[in-house]
A and B are shown apart, each in its own frame.
Chain A
Amino acid sequence: MAPDLGNTQKWMQAVILHPGSDRQAVASAEARKIVPPSRFPGLIRPSRTLDSFDRIGIYRGMYLARLQEALEADFPGLAHFLGPKRFSDLVRGYVDRYPSGSYTLNRLGDRLPEFIRSSPGMVRKDFLYELARFELLMSRLFDAEESPVLTPEAIAEVPPECWETARLKPVAALSVQELRYPVGAYLEAVRQGKPRPATRRKNHWAVVYRSQYALRWLDLSRPAYRLLKALVNGVPLGEALSGVLRRGGQPVGEVQLFSWFRGWVTEGLFQAVELEDTA
């Protein structure tokens, strides 16, 4: 009996997603429980030039090629580091484990960092995990909501006595990151076609953000990271400053603090000053 519409679609999808050869896919357990391989040539008509395997093979080939192209666009650093063969192998393993469930390819790579972290035997796994996580973050910030940007006029309107308890609201497209590898520098080198930089472990801190619709990042010192992280988490300004000043290490002077704030405001990292009674 011929498969109905639902079973035809389940069968065809099972064949397309199967990682083996065209013949293995048609003979796979999932496919054969719907359409026995002996009935395959009757279900998919041969053409003048292609047999039934060739014809279903076109869809199978395009499936992986399309997903690989999408992931390469979102993870150019990862693709560059691994090279074509290893990246292709990674994509095959990833989409076998996590086929797309979204109407948009923009979400295809959402679980790629976790897939890398959980893959046994992957060389340079820690670096690749952080690189993938960083590139995924860039994709998300690219699509984040656009926010208004805090203006000097709005800052000037804040009464001086209110700054202690004021909160600085960050723009939506912003993330403060503690990193173990120089993934930003690596990505920048790939984009600019420069020689591959060292990828040894090096703890550092950065803020990644979108400004005027372009993605950027700023390297931060550790105290600057702590302060910005606290502000982004909604800690009032006075408390956030005290937290930084209380910490050990190099003392942070007033001039340094003003320099950070000026830089962050100029870069458009904040959208508003929220005063205590309006926060």
Chain B
Amino acid sequence: MGRNRWDLPDLGFGIGLRTVHYSYILANHPPIDWFEILSENYMDTGGRPLYVLDQVAERYPVVLHGVSMSVGSTDPLNLGYLKKLKALADRTRAHWVSDHLCWTGVSGINVHDLLPMPYTDESLRYTIERVKAVSEILERPLVLENPSTYLEFGTSTWSEVEFLSTLAQEADCGILLDVNNVYVSCFNHGLDPEAFIDRVPADRVVQYHLAGHTHKGTHILDTHSDHVIDEVWSLYRRSCQRTGGVATLLEWDENIPSFEVVHAEALKARRHRGLPEPDHQRAYGT
């Protein structure tokens, strides 16, 4: 049983559902705990993606994860988008729906990026109301992820973690704690990632994200293109000591290796949580 505010379950150790793995998953039904679905990839299609999603949702627990809610944008909420999102959540019996603490565009334009918020009182008040409105439309609590950021606004009067924590409390939303993003943003802004982790309200964390990144020397890009580094595993262990068992998801979006490799990376999280490692060879017959 989960220890978060809503008793949302610890789904175990999952990976993101990606097109390159469709055939493998349908043919082999691999022994994975759960899948995270990129919402926008399935909202407007009646083709193979939806067919695969239905097959996956029939067999595995799923969670929806979006990139276009733009909850921090000063544009009006896209009600058509939210209606489709709710329908998809209902169709897949998703355990929860998540997106990012960010904005993706204004004036009717979508930049298709997770753009950073200025952490001000005005932003906080505004975002609290938006999150409440979205939760009401979706008829379930919204879960928000801390994005990787590459700049800081001089107008910010809150730290990111304080802003996120207060938002979660005031708007009654969950937190998808992306441990890699904590590492990336703290490196880019010269902050202490352990202090960030220690200040996240543990009872709000309903999911973890783990991923690899690309170190450019002067900054780090959140590319989801590699194995998780030791420093991120260390932060994950530190956070798990505070939150207990929380659903954990491994993201891999560039140079995606085979399903077995991605799943094996996700299963490393078991060891870092102090759980016995599964018999991977037996699971995959290798």
Contact = CB atoms under 8 A, between A and B. Distances in A.
B217 to A, nearest CB: 8
Contacts, number: 127
Given A49-B219, A50-B219, A43 B153 contact: yes
Interface in B106-152: 106-113, 115, 117-118, 120, 122-123, 126, 150-152
A58 interface: yes
Contacts of B46: 143-146, 172-173
B170 interface: no
A56 B122 CA distance: 22
Given A13-B105, A47-B188, A58-B221, 9 more contacts: A6-B74, A43-B155, A45-B153, A49-B219, A56-B151, A59-B115, A66-B112, A103-B68, A142-B47
A103 B154 contact: no
B150 A103 contact: no
A50 B218 contact: yes
A8 B153 contact: yes
29 contacts: A5-B74, A5-B126, A6-B74, A10-B106, A10-B107, A13-B109, A43-B155, A44-B152, A47-B152, A50-B218, A50-B219, A52-B151, A55-B151, A58-B150, A58-B151, A58-B221, A63-B111, A99-B111, A101-B110, A102-B110, A103-B81, A103-B110, A104-B40, A104-B44, A104-B68, A142-B48, A143-B44, A146-B50, A173-B46
Interface string A50-90: 10101110110011001100100000000000000000000
A121 to B, nearest CB: 27
A6 B106 contact: yes
Given A5-B123, A210-B47, A213-B51, A45 B152 contact: yes
A47 B107 contact: no
Contacts of B32: none
B47 A144 contact: yes
Given A9-B74, A143-B44, A213-B47, A105 B112 contact: yes
B103 interface: yes
A3 interface: yes
Interface in B43-60: 43-48, 50-51
A17 B109 contact: yes
- Which of B47, B113, B120, B122 counts the most A-chain CB atoms under 10 A from its CB? B47
Contacts of A105: 40, 112
A101 to B, nearest CB: 5
A16 B29 CA distance: 43
* Interface range on chain B (Cβ under 8 Å from partner): 35 or more
B159 interface: no
Contacts of A101: 108-110
B78 interface: yes
Interface of A: 2-6, 8-10, 12-13, 16-17, 42-45, 47-50, 52, 54-56, 58-59, 62-63, 66-67, 70, 99-106, 142-146, 172-173, 210, 213-214
Given A8-B118, A59-B150, A13 B111 contact: yes
B274 interface: no
A157 B73 CA distance: 57
B106 A13 contact: yes
A44 B112 CA distance: 21
Nearest to B118: A8
B189 interface: yes
B17 to A, nearest CB: 16
- Which of B43, B126, B153, B217 counts the most A-chain CB atoms under 10 A from its CB? B153
A105 B117 CA distance: 22
A106 B44 contact: yes
B190 interface: yes
Contact of B40 (A17, A63, A103, A214): A103
